[in-house]
A = this chain, B = another copy of it.
Amino acid sequence: MHIWVINPVITTSWAENTQRTYADAARAGTQVTVVSLDWGTASIESHRDEALVAPDILTKAVQAEQAGADAVVIDCMGDPGLYAARELTQIPVVGPAQASMHLAATLGHRFSILTIFDHDVPLMEDLATRYGLQTKLASVRAINIPVLELREDAESTVKALINAAEQAVRDDSAHVVVPGCTGMAGMAAQVQEALGELGYPVPVLDPPSVAIKLAESLVDLGQSHSKRTFPYPPVKDIRWPSEGAFAPQSRGGGE
């Protein structure tokens, strides 16, 4: 099985780490290819960023399918471009936020999300509502460390995550915790362990791992997103500053 992971930003310094994270979580036979964007923003922390990374995510998703990938994961907890990418593909396109929120809802009474900035709280709340999970969301709490600094001082980040997670469990009645940025990849285990020591036996999910498990499961099942919800869009005129590399026209499409 071959899964493409789209690193949906122009920053490539963490791509190797991303590759390792996903490969470690994948099954033995699963090959992981990480591809970064040619255009977009350095990180994703706002509606503006989500808008600017979406077009090239579409190009990469289409390329993945053309290259024979079995599934695609978009490595960001805002799930940018997820629905649009599904319109252009038949293979499963998985968003870590959607995958993790649904798994969290499966494992406990309510879940909390730990996000980057206070102003990301509405984005995550709107996302949970879009996925139909507003009644399962206990809270969204921010750690207020920018994405690009998350790994500069990983220890501080983990401490901030533990602190926010503890508040979520104690004050917001969270029974499952979801670190809400894929830049926090690999830190979930430490947070879960620390919560356990505080007397809170709650799962802390690692969204990239959850996403690749969902991708593998869908490939195993021979299933994908509903083309009734995400049909190929009509072919139409598209003007773009860089025609050559640009592919978000429907290929196998149905009009």
Contact = CB atoms under 8 A, between A and B. Distances in A.
Nearest to A49: B233
A227 B242 CA distance: 33
Interface stretch (A66-74, A82-90, A155-163, A179-187): A82-90
Contacts of A173: 121
A234 B135 contact: no
B129 A48 contact: no
A48 B106 CA distance: 19
A156 B44 CA distance: 44
**Can you list the 7 inter-chain pairs with the closest CB atoms, starting with the nearest?**
A108-B226, A46-B233, A241-B242, A213-B217, A47-B84, A201-B227, A42-B237
A172 B217 CA distance: 28
A224 B200 CA distance: 14
B87 A47 contact: yes
Contacts of A83: 47
A95 to B, nearest CB: 9
Nearest to A81: B51
Contact of A129 (B106, B130, B148): B130
Contact of A109 (B46, B50, B51, B122): B122
A39 interface: yes
A150 interface: no
Contacts of A99: 106
A5 interface: no
Interface in A2-48: 10-11, 25, 27, 38-43, 45-48
A39 B241 contact: yes
Interface in A105-148: 105-109, 119, 121-122, 125-126, 129-136, 146, 148
Contact of A107 (B125, B213, B223, B248): B223
B201 A221 contact: no
A194 interface: no
A91 interface: no
Contact of A225 (B52, B108, B133): B108
User: Counting chain B CB atoms within 10 Å of each CB, which of A45, A210, A226 scores highest?
Assistant: A226
A10 to B, nearest CB: 5
A64 interface: no
20 contacts: A42-B238, A48-B250, A50-B84, A51-B248, A52-B55, A52-B58, A107-B229, A108-B226, A109-B229, A121-B173, A122-B175, A122-B229, A129-B129, A132-B136, A134-B135, A202-B227, A203-B223, A203-B226, A206-B221, A241-B241
